[in-house]
Structure 1
Amino acid sequence: MAQIYISVGSSINREHYITQGLHAIADAFNIHFSKLILSSLYESEAVGFAGAPFYNMVVGLHCSQSIKQVTKILRDIEFAHGRSENAQKYSPRTLDLDILLYDDLILESPAQIPRAEICTNAFVLWPLSEVAPTLCHPVLKKSYQELWQQYDKESQQLNIVNNCW
């Protein structure tokens, strides 16, 4: 069983799509919802474009699927929850699911693992450091807690939102 971490985000009907996304992840991986490792829910400004604020969090789980299967499952969940197949990279989203980590693999395809956004975006690093504080980044060889402590917290503002699940 692989340990994976997934970034979950939404800027459209945020609470609804985050909740729906979490349940869809549990269903797709045949895991009881209570077995998901859930970070706090954070609100952040849109990054890369002017738009409504996002809700973001990180989910951890164990799965038996390959990295290729996981990426397909996540895309299928996004499409089932209103994401357009023509969605541009920096645009509003009903649901955005990105695999961050798959065990300690280092890959470029079928997905970039570990995802570069872990170290560049507070809305990824802070929740990841919350759910996997002692886990080490497979390239940087530092824990996510260490990386969060070293992160320039003035560069992106985050607010913790009450959990919606």
Structure 2
Amino acid sequence: MLPAERCYIGLGANLVEPVAQLQAAVTALGQLPETRLVQVSRFYSSKPMGPQDQPDYVNAVAALDTRLTPLALLHALQQIELAHGRQRKAERWGPRTLDLDILLFGTQQIDHPELTVPHYGMQLREFVLYPLAELAPDLILPDGVALQSLLQQVPLNGLTPLQPPCD
């Protein structure tokens, strides 16, 4: 049996009650096989990266310990997205009901046609870095860069913590 790897998953939504979408996604993450949901950051409101004529996003980061392979985890996350109404369209950074991204998978660096880890844009995205810092403030990325040094370079850009979701 594979040892469990600590993974960080980025969550985002800006359609169909985004807070409820993220709450449901967290529940689904906690039900993945061979996986334990360790912790979830606060939810944050953020400005859209792409077209500005869309609602603000709600974002968070979840920490998981999993024995799934990286591709098995990716496919499981895609199934959760589909179950929550995700439609994969050609529009990059467009609105979506749910987006789940593998940000980090242990200390692995993965370059596969289906999956790039660390996530290709995470070092520039405030809506990933600040929630990630809640969960792992002393994290060192697989390339040796300290999360704290990235936080000093990436402004908040309107990122606003929301009240913790009600249980």
Task: Please give the TM-score of this superposition, normalised by the length of structure 1.
Answer: 0.90
Q: Could you tell me which residue of structure 1 aligns to residue 97 of structure 2? A: 94
Corresponding residue for residue 18 of structure 1: 22
The 5 A counterparts of 1:1-165 are 1-12=4-15, 13-29=17-33, 35-50=37-52, 51-86=54-89, 88-109=91-112, 110-139=114-143, 141-148=144-151, 150-153=152-155, 156-164=157-165, 165=167
| Counterpart secondary structure, 2:6 | strand
8 Å contact 2:85–2:97 — kept in the other structure?
yes
- The whole-number CA distance in structure 1 between the counterparts of 2:132 and 2:87 is 27
Name the amino acid aligned to 1:125.
L
- Cα pair 1:117 1:124 within 8 Å, conserved: no
CA contact (8 A) 1:79 1:85 kept: no
> Higher helix fraction: Structure 1 or Structure 2?
1
Q: Deviations over 1:104-152 (max 9, x none)?
A: 111121311001222111001111111111121111x12212321x223
Identity %: 28
Q: CA deviation at 1:89?
A: 2.5
1:55-91 superposed Cα distances (whole Å, 9 cap, x missing partner): 0010001000000101000000000000014363321
C-alpha contact 2:8 2:64 (8 A) present in aligned 1: yes
Letter in 2 for 1:157: G
Structure 2's unaligned 5+ residue stretches are none
**Alignment length (residue pairs):** 160
TM-score (norm 2): 0.89
- Indicate conservation of the 8 Å contact 1:78/1:96, yes or no: yes
Query: Does the 8 Å CA contact 2:122/2:129 hold for their aligned counterparts?
Result: yes
